């Protein structure tokens, strides 16, 4: 065991309650400090036997979701789509794809969720559409029709090559030749996902009208996919090259040329700020709704701060904790950096989602365990901000090893074997240890890994010490801790592998200490021991205090109220 002295850091002056109205315990919006459970519909529950999850499947399992102690659900796209990118290529923003059900199914889902006390957020993909969308069909037909300027079109260079050097996140040029117009169109993602031209006010109005359609239907919020990609540089300037040592990013294959550039001109343009203000004005016309923006830029923390200030988005969502770096220093530095920049907004954190390797594999480094799963949930849900947890996280699911012949993700197929894509985190939810893990009566769209059967919901329900029951215990305990939900955060300087901080609200201060390693650790407590009252009931492996020293077991935690 190692002993590390600790001291409280003060990277910025603590904000007073007058500066932080969210800390007042009256009229706190539901989304501040909320835990939102992300549902990937294709992989949640299939009720019609076609091997793909659907909206009736979500309805069937809403009682289970409510039992977890979460506050809301976020449903990934279920709109009409040719499914080139599994719903993130939308052909009709106002209807449900028959693969998932009907608009009536969605209305039933919304009503049941609300009866259970769950808020409902849906994905809105504003920056691009499917090439099967009627807007694009019209736009590509000619250069002088009513939708001709609704997408980003550009002439070829003199030698016939693409207008500039912009690259698609999925590899290769971000430009696709369209012979009907004799021009290139921009696609920051797949060629089947053409980018809308948000410099056209008609496009902005149409996008806002689509958001209005779902708000009128009663949704409680929107998760805005790739929201910093709405605008492009109108001069179409080349992106500058990035040095080899800085070519990193979430989900990138080592061979993906996307990492070779600074993406200064194909996204995150200043014109987006005015559009976000218009979006917020729209949402302010509804009661208690929220906009959560997915942000991935060259400086995502700075963009999060900018996009959530001056009455723009309610929350920002980025990828800094979706990387491979599992260390106290990385978590502390990331949160402190955001705290120093985000003086007005509200963050949202996640350690797993449908685009990255599952956290138990990514951060477990071959040592995944129930203790680690419980620790990771408690850690991310103790940071200042709201939280998104991804389906299966409450079961301690690891990344599935999907063989090449079973791959569905075009990203993984293109970059195999250096990068296997996103299918490994998208395999079906294991509800039982029976055929197809209780997900479907037919052949699932992705195979269910054998190791997930032992982690099925029915198996874990019967085990008091399971990851599932540990997740529930912590979530319900957290609801009774106002400081963890809404308080300020101040970090304690610790040696690896210990992460420590305080959360303070209206005179209550909670000291939080986590051991991020698979070995026990001893530390010196940073505050007078007489002022610390141990908080129990969270269900984690509890540290033991001996005078001024605290011994934390492997993946252990310690919560104590100060004073």
Beta bridge partners of 130: none
* Active-site annotation holder among 54, 105, 123, 294: 294
Q: Do 464 and 391 touch, CB atoms closer than 8 A?
A: no
Which segment of 114-128, 247-261, 426-440, 476-490 scores lowest on mean pLDDT? Answer: 247-261
pLDDT tier at 249, thresholds 50, 70, 90: low
The full set of domain ranges for the chain reads 28-130+201-478, 483-562
Structural domain 28-130+201-478, CATH architecture: Alpha-Beta Barrel (3.20)
> For residue 247, what pLDDT is reported?
85
∠ Cα 167 168 172 (to 5°): 70
What share of the chain in percent tops pLDDT 90?
A: 89
d(CA 219, CA 367): 40
Q: Could you give the strand order of the β-sheet that contains 532-534, starting from the edge strand earlier in sequence?
A: 7-8, 488-493, 498-505, 508-515, 557-562, 532-534
Residue-wise pLDDT for 18-56, tens only, equals: 344 343 455 899 999 999 999 999 999 999 999 999 999
HSE-up (13 A, CA, CB side) for residue 269: 19
* Active-site annotation holder among 54, 105, 123, 225: 225
> For residue 29, what pLDDT is reported?
97
> For residue 527, what pLDDT is reported?
81
Radius of gyration of the chain (CA): 24
Give me the CATH code for the 483-562 domain, please. 2.60.40.1180
Q: Is the pLDDT of residue 1 over 50?
A: no
225 as an active site residue: the answer is yes
> For residue 418, what pLDDT is reported?
87
Residue-wise pLDDT for 402-426, tens only, equals: 999 999 999 999 999 988 999 999 9
Q: Is the pLDDT of residue 392 over 60?
A: yes
Residue-wise pLDDT for 151-198, tens only, equals: 999 999 999 999 999 999 999 999 999 999 999 999 999 999 999 999
245 as an active site residue: the answer is no
Q: Is the pLDDT of residue 495 over 50?
A: yes
């Amino acid at each position: 065991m190692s002993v590390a002295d600790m001291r409280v850091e003060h990277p910025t002056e603590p904000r007073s309650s007058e500066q932080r109205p969210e800390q007042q315990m009256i009229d706190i919006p539901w989304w501040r400090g909320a835990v939102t459970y992300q549902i990937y519909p294709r992989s949640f529950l299939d009720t019609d036997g076609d091997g793909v999850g659907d909206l009736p499947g979500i309805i069937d399992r809403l009682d289970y979701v409510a039992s977890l102690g979460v506050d809301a659900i976020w449903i990934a796209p279920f709109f009409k789509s040719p499914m080139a990118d599994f719903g993130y290529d939308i052909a009709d923003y106002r209807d449900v794809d028959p693969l998932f059900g009907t608009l009536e199914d969605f209305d039933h889902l919304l009503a049941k969720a609300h009866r259970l006390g769950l808020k409902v957020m849906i994905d809105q993909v504003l920056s691009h559409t499917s090439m099967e969308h009627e807007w694009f069909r019209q736009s590509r037909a000619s250069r002088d029709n009513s939708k001709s300027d609704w997408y980003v079109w550009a002439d070829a260079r003199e030698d016939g090559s693409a207008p500039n050097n912009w690259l698609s996140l999925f590899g290769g040029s971000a430009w696709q030749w369209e012979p009907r117009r004799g021009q290139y169109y921009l696609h920051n993602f797949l060629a089947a996902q053409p980018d809308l031209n948000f410099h056209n006010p008609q496009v902005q109005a149409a996008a806002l009208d689509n958001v209005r359609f779902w708000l009128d239907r009663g949704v409680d919020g929107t998760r805005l996919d790739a929201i910093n990609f709405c605008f492009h540089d109108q001069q179409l300037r080349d992106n500058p090259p990035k040095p080899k040592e800085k070519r990193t990013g979430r989900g990138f294959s080592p061979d993906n040329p996307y990492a070779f550039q600074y993406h200064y001109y194909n996204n995150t343009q200043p014109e987006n700020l005015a559009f976000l203000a218009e979006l917020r004005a729209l949402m302010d016309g509804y009661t208690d709704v929220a906009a959560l923006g997915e942000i991935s830029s060259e400086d995502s923390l700075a963009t999060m701060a900018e996009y959530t200030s001056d009455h723009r988005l309610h929350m920002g969502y980025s990828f800094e904790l979706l990387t491979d770096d599992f260390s106290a220093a990385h978590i502390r530095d990331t949160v402190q950096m955001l705290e120093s920049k985000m003086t007005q907004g509200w963050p949202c954190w996640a350690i797993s989602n449908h685009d990255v390797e599952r956290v138990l594999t990514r951060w477990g480094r071959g040592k995944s365990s129930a203790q680690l799963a419980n620790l990771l949930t408690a850690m991310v849900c103790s940071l200042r901000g709201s939280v998104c947890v991804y389906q299966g996280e409450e079961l301690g699911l690891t990344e599935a090893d999907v063989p090449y012949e079973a791959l569905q993700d075009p990203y993984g197929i293109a970059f195999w074997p250096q990068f296997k894509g996103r299918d490994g985190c998208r395999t079906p939810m294991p509800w039982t240890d029976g055929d197809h893990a209780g997900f479907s009566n037919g052949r699932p769209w992705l195979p269910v890994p054998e190791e997930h059967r032992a982690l099925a919901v029915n198996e874990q329900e019967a085990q008091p010490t399971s990851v599932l029951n540990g997740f529930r215990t912590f979530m319900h305990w957290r609801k009774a801790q106002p400081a963890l939900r809404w308080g300020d955060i101040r970090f304690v300087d610790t040696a690896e592998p210990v992460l420590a901080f305080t959360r303070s609200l209206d005179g209550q201060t909670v000291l939080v200490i986590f051991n991020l390693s698979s070995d026990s650790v001893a530390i010196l407590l940073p505050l007078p021991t007489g002022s610390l009252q141990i908080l129990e009931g969270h269900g984690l492996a509890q540290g033991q205090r001996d005078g001024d020293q605290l011994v934390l077991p492997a993946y252990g935690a310690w919560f104590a109220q100060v004073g």
